[in-house]
């Protein structure tokens, strides 16, 4: 045994195109510690751990395990080096038993003796003290128990460093306590754990040390006992950039969009949306902040007609839209720009067709498509929204910024009364980002009620009049954007702090 850290990452850099996911990141994981990796979505936590587990290769930097420098090209290399990872999506064969799933991870034998499979599984359960029945069928286990099987799988392969990617994201609170008890016990046996999270409370509860990543950079490593406010500032802290906003026009006081008691529930899980109520007035932008996975996606899906809520109401004026399909939602004057802009266009169709797809019946002449008008319509919008494309170009061949402009053009040219916008500038370059933000502000001036969901706090504070924070499917706080306290926002997003 030497005194080197269990894992050392040195100057790891990983780029995806123009985006730097990890920028010169250093990280040490000691033996027998829980080391939390804290950061917002997109901060580069998972990318860094995927590199350590061989799922992704770094552009620069090196990895040492127990002081020895290693090339980790695949998970097989990582496993051989004693590294295990449990991702958010379990790799379990649901119809098989726990013991059989454990046996699947073993290599080197052609013949499996059922008794031996059982015996080994029972031994592993015994040795690591993980409470799960080896004979249980995985598909019938709760999510928390399935997660234990995943952990057991990694441990059975003699892993000494265990990476857990947001392990609590799928768990109910009681299961979280159980998981933490298991982790403490494993650490006491000498295991090192890397715990990826963006929840301050958990990080403080379980970790010995915390490394904070922000926008691909390593901000610092601090003891697990560091105050939450300090961690929140490290995680989100950044100067807000100055945008001159006009005061909200004195539109009607009647809310244009009213959401009441909206719920989305899945059997056996905690509700993804629990009693969300929200009002957006004409000429107002309401921002929804939050780390992704806290119900924003589902909220937008309900509002755009792509998902049935379990309960609650969505009203535009007098029209009830909860449970309505996309066509009805559009017909009541709602424009929709969802987060996955690629999936909401038909990439293999032309720009011109995509621009009319929502309102095909208006471009019909004697039963056939009016190709002339479809084309002139496209030319007009390409001009007005400065889309760098020709009408006949396939949408999939455009850049991200131009794809977003196609979506914007399709929606804004209809002069919507209500706009549902999610992550409108994610992945766009500076120019396109500015363009999109200007268009949204112009719509606000024109009196559109805008609900803006974004993980980018700068964007919310620059565009929104009010900001609400979503955490675990509920709205946990609201503040006016002009006097928003970024530390307070960070605490709310991480599940801490009071309603402001």
Partner 1 sequence: MTGQAGPMAAVRRSLRPTRWSTPGVAVAAVAITFALTAVPILLAEANPFAAYYEFLVSPLTSDFTRLEVLVGATPILFTGCAVAIAFKAGYWNIGAEGQLLLGAIAAAGIGQVVGDLPPIVALTLMIAGGALAGAAWALLPALLRVRFDIDEVVTTLLLNPVALLLVTGMLNGPWRDPVSGFPESPRIAAVAELPHLIERSRLHLGFLIALVVIGIAWYVLARTPAGLRLRATGLSPHGSRFAGVNVTRVLLGAALVSGAVAGIGGVSEVAGIQFRLTGGLSPGFGYTGIVVAMLGGLWMPGVILAAVFLGDLAVGASSAGRALGIPSQLGAVVQGTLLLVTVGLLALRRNRLARSTTPGTGAAVDSVAADLAQELAVVADPAEPEDQPGTREPGA
- Interface residues with partner 1 (CB under 8 A)? 15-19, 21, 41-47, 216, 292, 304, 306, 325-327, 330, 336, 338, 342-349, 353-354, 357-358, 360-361, 363-364, 367-369, 371, 394, 396-400, 426-428
Per residue, the 3-state secondary structure of 256-325, as one string, reads: EEEEEEEEECCCCCCCCEEEEEEEEECCCEEEEECCCCCCHHHHHHHHCCCCCCCEEEEEECCEECCCCC
Q: Two tokens at 4?
A: 């080197």
How far apart are alpha carbons 299 and 305 in whole angstroms? Answer: 10
- Residue 185 beta carbon to partner 1: minimum distance, rounded to whole angstroms: 28
- Residue 44 beta carbon to partner 1: minimum distance, rounded to whole angstroms: 5
Task: Transcribe 122-140 into DSSP letters.
Answer: HHHHHHHT----TTSBGGG
* Torsion angle defined by CA atoms of residues 379, 381, 384 and 389, in that order, rounded to the nearest 10 degrees: -60
- Residue 392 beta carbon to partner 1: minimum distance, rounded to whole angstroms: 13
CA 379 to each of CA 206, 207, 283, 442, 443: distance values in angstroms, whole numbers, following the listed order: 58, 57, 29, 22, 22
- Residue 341 beta carbon to partner 1: minimum distance, rounded to whole angstroms: 9
- Residue 425 beta carbon to partner 1: minimum distance, rounded to whole angstroms: 10
- Residue 416 beta carbon to partner 1: minimum distance, rounded to whole angstroms: 14
Quote the DSSP letter at residue 247: P
- Residue 359 beta carbon to partner 1: minimum distance, rounded to whole angstroms: 8
Q: Two tokens at 96?
A: 């098989």
Nearer to partner 1, 348 or 415 (CB): 348
Instruction: Identify any residues that bridge with 477 across adjacent strands, giving them in sequence order.
Output: 469
Nearer to partner 1, 185 or 397 (CB): 397
Nearer to partner 1, 70 or 349 (CB): 349
In the sheet that holds 466-471, the strands lie side by side as 334-337, 418-422, 449-453, 285-289, 466-471, 474-480
In the sheet that holds 7-16, the strands lie side by side as 19-29, 7-16, 60-65, 68-70
Q: Two tokens at 368?
A: 């056939």
How far apart are alpha carbons 51 and 116 in whole angstroms? Answer: 34
Nearer to partner 1, 233 or 394 (CB): 394
Quote the DSSP letter at residue 109: -
How many contiguous H segments (helices) and E segments (strands) does the chain have?
A: 16, 22
- Residue 93 beta carbon to partner 1: minimum distance, rounded to whole angstroms: 19
Nearer to partner 1, 44 or 274 (CB): 44
Nearer to partner 1, 100 or 298 (CB): 298
Nearer to partner 1, 127 or 372 (CB): 372
Nearer to partner 1, 229 or 306 (CB): 306
- Residue 60 beta carbon to partner 1: minimum distance, rounded to whole angstroms: 16
3-class SS at 474?
Answer: strand
Quote the DSSP letter at residue 241: P
Indicate the pairing of strand 334-337 with strand 418-422: parallel
- Residue 38 beta carbon to partner 1: minimum distance, rounded to whole angstroms: 13
Which run of H or E residues covers position 419?
strand 418-422
- Residue 158 beta carbon to partner 1: minimum distance, rounded to whole angstroms: 28
Nearer to partner 1, 40 or 465 (CB): 40
- Residue 302 beta carbon to partner 1: minimum distance, rounded to whole angstroms: 13
Nearer to partner 1, 86 or 103 (CB): 86
Long-range contacts of 12-20 (CB under 8 A, 24+ apart): 12/48, 12/51, 12/58, 12/60, 12/61, 12/63, 13/58, 13/59, 13/60, 13/61, 14/44, 14/47, 14/48, 14/51, 14/56, 14/58, 14/59, 15/59, 18/429, 19/427, 20/216
Nearer to partner 1, 124 or 355 (CB): 355
Nearer to partner 1, 103 or 345 (CB): 345
């Amino acid at each position: 045994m030497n005194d080197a850290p269990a894992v050392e990452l040195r100057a790891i850099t990983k780029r995806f195109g123009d985006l730097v996911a990890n920028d010169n990141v250093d990280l040490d994981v000691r033996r027998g510690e829980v080391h939390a990796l804290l950061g917002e979505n997109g901060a580069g936590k998972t990318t860094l751990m995927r590199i350590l587990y061989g799922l992704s290769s770094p552009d620069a930097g090196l990895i040492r395990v127990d002081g020895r420098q290693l090339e980790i090209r695949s998970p097989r290399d990582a496993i051989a080096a004693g590294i295990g990872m449990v991702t958010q999506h379990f790799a379990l064969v649901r119809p098989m038993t726990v013991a059989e799933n454990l046996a699947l991870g073993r290599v080197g034998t052609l013949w499996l003796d059922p008794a031996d499979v059982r015996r080994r599984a029972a031994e592993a359960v015994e040795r690591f003290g993980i409470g799960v029945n080896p004979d249980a069928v995985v598909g019938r286990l709760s999510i928390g128990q399935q997660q234990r099987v995943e952990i057991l799988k990694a441990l059975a392969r003699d892993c000494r460093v265990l990476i857990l990617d947001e392990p609590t994201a799928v768990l109910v609170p009681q299961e979280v306590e159980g998981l933490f008890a298991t982790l403490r016990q494993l650490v006491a046996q000498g295991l090192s754990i890397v715990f990826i999270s963006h929840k301050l409370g958990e990080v403080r509860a379980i970790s010995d040390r915390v490394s904070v990543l922000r926008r691909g950079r390593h901000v610092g490593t601090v003891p697990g006992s560091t105050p939450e406010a300090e961690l929140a500032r490290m995680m989100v802290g950044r100067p807000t950039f100055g945008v001159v906003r006009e005061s909200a026009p004195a539109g009607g006081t009647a809310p244009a969009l009213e959401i009441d008691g909206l719920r989305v529930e899945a059997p056996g899980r905690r509700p993804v949306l629990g009693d969300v109520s929200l009002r957006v007035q004409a000429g107002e932008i309401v921002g929804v902040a939050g780390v992704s996975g806290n119900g924003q996606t589902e909220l937008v899906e309900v509002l755009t007609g792509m998902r049935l809520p379990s309960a609650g109401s969505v009203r535009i004026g007098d029209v009830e839209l909860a449970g309505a399909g996309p066509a009805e939602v559009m017909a009541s004057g709602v424009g929709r720009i969802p987060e996955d802009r690629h999936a909401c266009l038909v990439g293999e169709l032309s720009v011109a067709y995509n621009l009319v797809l929502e309102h095909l019946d208006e471009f019909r002449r004697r039963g056939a498509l009016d190709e002339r008008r479809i084309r002139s319509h496209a030319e007009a919008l390409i001009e007005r929204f400065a889309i760098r494309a020709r009408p006949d170009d396939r949408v999939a061949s455009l850049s991200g910024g131009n794809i977003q402009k196609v979506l914007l053009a399709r929606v804004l040219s209809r002069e919507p009364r209500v706009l549902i916008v999610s992550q409108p500038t994610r992945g766009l370059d500076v120019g396109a980002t500015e363009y999109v933000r200007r268009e949204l502000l112009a719509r606000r001036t024109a009196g559109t009620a805008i609900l803006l969901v974004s993980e980018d706090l700068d964007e919310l504070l620059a565009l929104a009049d009010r900001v609400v924070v979503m955490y675990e499917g509920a709205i946990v706080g609201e503040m006016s954007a002009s006097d928003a306290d970024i530390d307070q926002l960070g605490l709310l997003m991480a599940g801490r702090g009071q309603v402001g």
